[in-house]
Amino acid sequence: MKIGISSSGSGLDSMVDKNFGRCQYFAVVEIENGVIGEAKFIENTASAQAGGAGVTASQLIANEGVNAIIASNMGPRALDVFSQLGIKMYRGEGNIADVAKEFIDGKLQEIQSATGPRHFGLGGR
């Protein structure tokens, strides 16, 4: 299983970014038999877009073949993309390694509706 996590940096000690569509990186973490495996970090090329960053970021991370997404906040457009693709979304805060472990342990709350308005990332940093 692969999970995607919005990240403020490019290491497992980086924090989950507050803004999904405008995060600097995405962590793509492999989980096998309840254990964190390989992790790679990809730059979020949507972070500097004038508009539509949530949709573009959603497509970028979905193309990595993730089964779930973890973020602190999720806007309505990103939520729509993941819902259409059947990718579950979870709310997490803290560093990437700890949040991945909380996901494995079933401790994260599933995101059912947007946690921020459209364009939240433009002024929400």
Residue 124 clears pLDDT 50, i.e. is over it? no
pTM given for the model? 0.90
**Cβ partners under 8 Å of residue 21, min gap 6:** 46, 47, 53, 54, 55, 56, 57, 58, 75, 77, 78, 121
- Check residue 117 and give its pLDDT: 56
Task: Give pLDDT tens digits for 30-72.
Answer: 999 999 999 999 999 998 888 888 899 999 999 999 999 999 9
Phi/psi class of residue 106: alpha, beta or left (left: φ > 0; alpha: ψ in -120 to 50)?
Answer: left
Question: The dihedral of CA 46, 48, 49, 55: what is its sign?
Answer: positive
Domain extent listing, the chain: 2-113
Residue 102 binned pLDDT confidence (cut-offs 50, 70, 90): very high
Of 9, 41, 31, 6, nearest in space to 21 by CA? 6
Name the E strands within the chain.
2-7, 25-32, 35-43, 68-71, 88-91, 109-110
CATH for 2-113 is 3.30.420.130
| Tokens of residue 99, six digits | 């949040």
Secondary structure element (H or E) that encloses residue 121, with its range: helix 120-123
